[in-house]
């Protein structure tokens, strides 16, 4: 096989959430890397081209919205899709996510089937698994 796997960066300060999302997405054939806050995600995105970002909202040093804004800004400028997953279900949160540049906003808990389905949908066309 010469196809390159789809590269995902899972961004969450909670080690358990990273483990959960990583194991679900890896099992589904994605190549997954992790970052423990928004700044780390930005640093990783400067050196690696990801096909999808899965981003939490409440994180130390740099929250999810600022992270997505920076990923979209001149500093990084990634066109890759961004899925935000949050424990927050306050009114206006989804709007903030979309304003920051996210492609989809979901509230926890997200079932395994749904996460994989959405990840596939967002990365359709960027390699295997499509």
For another protein, the closer CB: 104 or 107:
107
CB 105 within 8 Å of CB 94: yes
Nearest residue to 122 (alpha-carbon basis) of 19, 25, 14? 25
Closest to another protein by CB, 57 vs 122, is 57
Q: Residue 86: phi, psi to the nearest 5?
A: -130, 155
Taking the complex as a whole, the smallest distance from the CB of residue 75 to another protein amounts, in Å, to 6
Least distance (Å) between residue 3 CB and another protein: 27
Least distance CB 6 / another protein (angstroms):
22
CB of 4 or CB of 75, closer to another protein: 75
Alpha-helical regions (H) of the chain: 15-27, 38-47, 64-72, 93-100, 112-123
Residues that bind another protein (CB under 8 A): 13-17, 19-20, 23, 36-40, 42-43, 46-47, 57-66, 74-75, 87-88, 90, 92, 96, 108-112
Tell me which residue of 7, 5, 6, 76 sits closest to 38, measured CA to CA: 76
The smaller minimum CB distance to another protein, of residues 46 and 128, is found at: 46
Residue appearing with tokens 């995600």? 41
């Amino acid at each position: 096989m010469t196809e390159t796997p789809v590269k995902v960066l899972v961004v969450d300060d909670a080690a358990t959430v990273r483990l959960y999302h990583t194991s679900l997405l890896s099992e589904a054939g994605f190549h997954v890397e992790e970052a423990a806050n928004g700044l780390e995600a930005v640093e990783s995105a400067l050196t690696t081209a990801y096909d999808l970002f899965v981003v939490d909202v409440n994180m130390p040093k740099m929250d999810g919205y600022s992270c997505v804004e920076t990923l979209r800004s001149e500093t990084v400028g990634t066109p890759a899709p961004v899925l935000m997953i949050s424990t927050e279900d306050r009114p206006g949160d989804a709007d903030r996510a979309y304003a920051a540049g996210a492609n989809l906003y979901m509230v926890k808990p997200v079932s395994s089937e749904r996460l994989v389905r959405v990840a596939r949908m967002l990365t359709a066309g960027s390699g295997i698994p499509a």
